[in-house]
A and B are shown apart, each in its own frame.
Chain A
Amino acid sequence: MSSRLQNILVPIIAVLLGVLVGTIIMIISGFDAVAGFVALWDGAFGESYFTGETVRQITPYILAGLAVAFAFRTGLFNIGVEGQLIVGWLAAVWVGVAFDLPKIIHLPLAVLAAAAAGAFWAFIPGFLKAKYRVHEVIVTIMLNYTALHITNYIIRTVLSEKSDRTESIAETASLRSPFFESLTDYSRMHWGIVIALICVFIMWFILERTTRGFELKAVGFNQHASDYAGMNVKRNIILSMVISGAFAGLAGAMEGLGTFGYASIKGGFTGVGFDGIAVALLGANSPIGIVLAAILFGSLKVGALNMPLQAGVPNELVDIIIALIVFFVASSYLIRLIIKRFSKKGVK
């Protein structure tokens, strides 16, 4: 079997295995599995309102997935997407609240502020990796919590008078779309999906059509060879993290400017950043794969909210399924072994 076909088969089998185990869990727990999945489907696509909400959820997932994947392609593991997202969210809302500008300047400014904030937050681990050879995984994890506490502090003391949330952003900085809202029965679907899709194209373009992208990928394949070929490995590491962080910051802008329109004190993480790891992994770090994976996880996540109402199944079942899919993709060695076994039988 060609390796190309195998690469496509692995994620598909992983998803099927994840759903299978999820079904088994439902049955063992005494729930009606069929009703559960019907509720899941209805919750994601049953009404136009739900579809709009699903698209809204897919939007940050695409961007978070791009962020993780872009770093992955340079051989870096950015677990800090969550922190970069939170920082981007705050930056976008800050610009949205603080300025009074015409929409054509205000909105792009707020979006760019988010990207810049995320990029800065990812620059730190990139720089430390390049300069001091500190492992980026640990630094990004630590920066996640640092971001959480600092943004909470800023929201509480700078952007509000000891309140739990900022005021809402100016209409001129909002991504809200009356057009999409009327189309989807007043869901919170917003223009962000367009930005996300543009970013998918940007990632593809950088990696596949520019010299810089070639260098980034080369560093991901083999740092020593790239160094020997005259590429500046350190600069590429930092650049990769910065671009990755910019995508993550944009994911935060989607929440800040589109879905919510404000920033609030968080007791814990949004989870979007960690789900982005799942999206990137399932999408095999390719732009198209990420879109497909984001659609799958976004639908699961939004559809899950309908499961307790319609079928009495706790929506956490979907979190379990997503985690299992990550396991199965990560353990692709197992799946590849199984495929090998089967395809050998076919030859006989």
Chain B
Amino acid sequence: MGIMEILMIIIPTTLLWAAPLIFTALGGTFSERSGVVNIGLEGLMVIGAFTAIVFNLTFVDTFGAFTPWVSLVAAMVVGILFSLIHAVASITLRADQTVSGVAINLLAVGVALFLVKRIYDKGQTDIIQRGFSKVDIPILSDIPVIGPIFFSNTYYTSFVAILFAVIAWYVIYKTKFGLRLRAVGEHPMAADTMGINVTKMRYYGVLISGALGGIGGGVYAQAISSDFGHATISGQGFMALAAMIFGKWHPLGAMGAALFFGFAQSLSIIGSSLPFLENIPNVYLLIAPYVLTIIALTGFIGRADAPKASGVPYIKGSR
């Protein structure tokens, strides 16, 4: 097997697995940058995956080829609504943000499976007819060398994810909104003194994370799993959380980390078909994202520091 063929297998698979992680990790970045820890990313992905699949199954006849994209919008909207619970609890009601996030995860699985059984009378949905499918991207796939490796046999969603990462970087670092968001996450009292509405900015942060987490789940469900059951989302949300930390709370860093984790995931799946990897137990690839994140946190690969006010509810007037 030549290097070209290997790359043609690995890179599209990496992009496929990375896309949901990129979306969700970006969501986490927005939330944490505003000062709200969001352990509930996993739950948001669950809700997104559930919504996308149900919407897709129900409206496939109406929207035809556009169904997966419309379903993604539905997943985004429901993700926003669901993250509102986390926002109300952790911002307005001053709940412990980690506990609230854990509750989001428990609630998402409960609600999604409850509704699946209510709607379909079984524990798992049918398989969707129209998911995201492999495409050769027009024009770009004709470029020699790069074309076949990056733009053939791939999914549009992966490139949308990368585009989102660039947009997120622009929003967080180059706009007034982003400056305020970061200010609220670093030093809410100072931001408040300058007339920034801390509560509003934090609501934005959490709701954006709901939107992106919902999209992430929707992408995973429609590109990878194709149905929804209790094990559809199993750890992708936490892996996205890891990507966000590994990327040092920076949108492009999060994207890079998500791509790397997607690479590790894809190797653990297709590794046995690659000549140089068949003898390595895939457990190493499975645990790599998590172990690397721990190592990154201990500071061996440059220190990763969370936004300063992350995890602390802001109470006006308290010191």
A79-B102, A326-B106, A330-B95 known; A128 and B298 CB under 8 Å? yes
Please tell me which one of the listed residues B89, B100, B231, B297 contacts residue A134 in the complex, with CB atoms under 8 A apart. B297
Within 8 A of A (CB), among B59-109: 85, 89, 93-96, 98-100, 102-107, 109
Q: List residues of chain B with CB within 8 A of the CB of A146.
A: 287, 290-291
Q: List residues of chain B with CB within 8 A of the CB of A327.
A: 85, 89, 95, 100, 103, 107
The residue in A320, A330, A332 that gathers the most chain B C-beta atoms within 10 A of its C-beta is: A330
**B298 and A134 form a contact (CB under 8 A):** yes
11 contacts between A and B (CB under 8 A): A25-B114, A79-B39, A138-B241, A141-B241, A142-B291, A145-B290, A146-B287, A150-B287, A153-B281, A153-B283, A326-B99
Q: How many residues of A contact B (CB 8 A)?
A: 45
**B94 and A333 form a contact (CB under 8 A):** yes
Q: How far is the CA of A334 from the CA of B299 in the complex (A)?
A: 39
Asked if A211 lies at the interface with its beta carbon under 8 angstroms from chain B, I say: no
Asked if B117 lies at the interface with its beta carbon under 8 angstroms from chain A, I say: yes
Within 8 A of B (CB), among A252-281: 267-268, 274, 277-278, 281
A135-B306, A331-B95 known; A142 and B114 CB under 8 Å? no
Asked if A322 lies at the interface with its beta carbon under 8 angstroms from chain B, I say: yes
Asked if B179 lies at the interface with its beta carbon under 8 angstroms from chain A, I say: no
A153-B283, A267-B234 known; A331 and B297 CB under 8 Å? no
Q: List residues of chain B with CB within 8 A of the CB of A324.
A: 103, 107
**A149 and B293 form a contact (CB under 8 A):** no
Within 8 A of B (CB), among A199-257: none
Q: Is chain B's interface secondary structure helix, strand, loop, or mixed overall?
A: helix
**B283 and A268 form a contact (CB under 8 A):** no
How far, in Å, is A71 (CB) from chain B's closest CB? 12
How far, in Å, is A146 (CB) from chain B's closest CB? 5
Asked if B314 lies at the interface with its beta carbon under 8 angstroms from chain A, I say: no
How far, in Å, is A222 (CB) from chain B's closest CB? 15
Q: List residues of chain A with CB within 8 A of the CB of B106.
A: 274, 278, 319, 322-323, 326
**Chain B positions 258 through 291: 1 when the CB is less than 8 Å from some CB of chain A, otherwise 0:** 0000000000000000000000010100110011
**A137 and B98 form a contact (CB under 8 A):** yes
Q: List residues of chain B with CB within 8 A of the CB of A316.
A: 109-111, 113-114, 117
8 additional contacts (CB under 8 A) given A145-B287, A322-B106: A77-B98, A142-B238, A143-B290, A143-B294, A274-B102, A274-B105, A324-B107, A326-B106
Residue of A nearest to B238 (CB): A141
**B110 and A281 form a contact (CB under 8 A):** no
Q: List residues of chain A with CB within 8 A of the CB of B242.
A: 138, 141-142
**B109 and A319 form a contact (CB under 8 A):** yes
**Chain B positions 141 through 155: 1 when the CB is less than 8 Å from some CB of chain A, otherwise 0:** 000000000000000
Please tell me which one of the listed residues B85, B99, B107, B291 contacts residue A281 in the complex, with CB atoms under 8 A apart. B99
Q: List residues of chain A with CB within 8 A of the CB of B286.
A: 149
**A138 and B103 form a contact (CB under 8 A):** no
Residue of B nearest to A322 (CB): B106
Q: List residues of chain B with CB within 8 A of the CB of A134.
A: 294, 297-298
Asked if A3 lies at the interface with its beta carbon under 8 angstroms from chain B, I say: no
How far, in Å, is A301 (CB) from chain B's closest CB? 12
Q: List residues of chain B with CB within 8 A of the CB of A150.
A: 283, 287
**B294 and A128 form a contact (CB under 8 A):** yes
How far, in Å, is B22 (CB) from chain A's closest CB? 19
Q: How far is the CA of A141 from the CA of B39 in the complex (A)?
A: 9
Q: How far is the CA of A137 from the CA of B304 in the complex (A)?
A: 15
Q: How far is the CA of A145 from the CA of B77 in the complex (A)?
A: 29
Q: List residues of chain A with CB within 8 A of the CB of B291.
A: 142, 146
Q: List residues of chain A with CB within 8 A of the CB of B111.
A: 316, 320
A267-B234, A326-B106 known; A314 and B113 CB under 8 Å? yes
**Chain A positions 115 through 159: 1 when the CB is less than 8 Å from some CB of chain B, otherwise 0:** 000000000000010001011011101111110011011000100
Q: List residues of chain A with CB within 8 A of the CB of B85.
A: 327
Asked if B245 lies at the interface with its beta carbon under 8 angstroms from chain A, I say: yes
Asked if A19 lies at the interface with its beta carbon under 8 angstroms from chain B, I say: no
Asked if A195 lies at the interface with its beta carbon under 8 angstroms from chain B, I say: no
How far, in Å, is A238 (CB) from chain B's closest CB? 15
How far, in Å, is B111 (CB) from chain A's closest CB? 6
How far, in Å, is B258 (CB) from chain A's closest CB? 15
Q: How far is the CA of A316 from the CA of B114 in the complex (A)?
A: 5
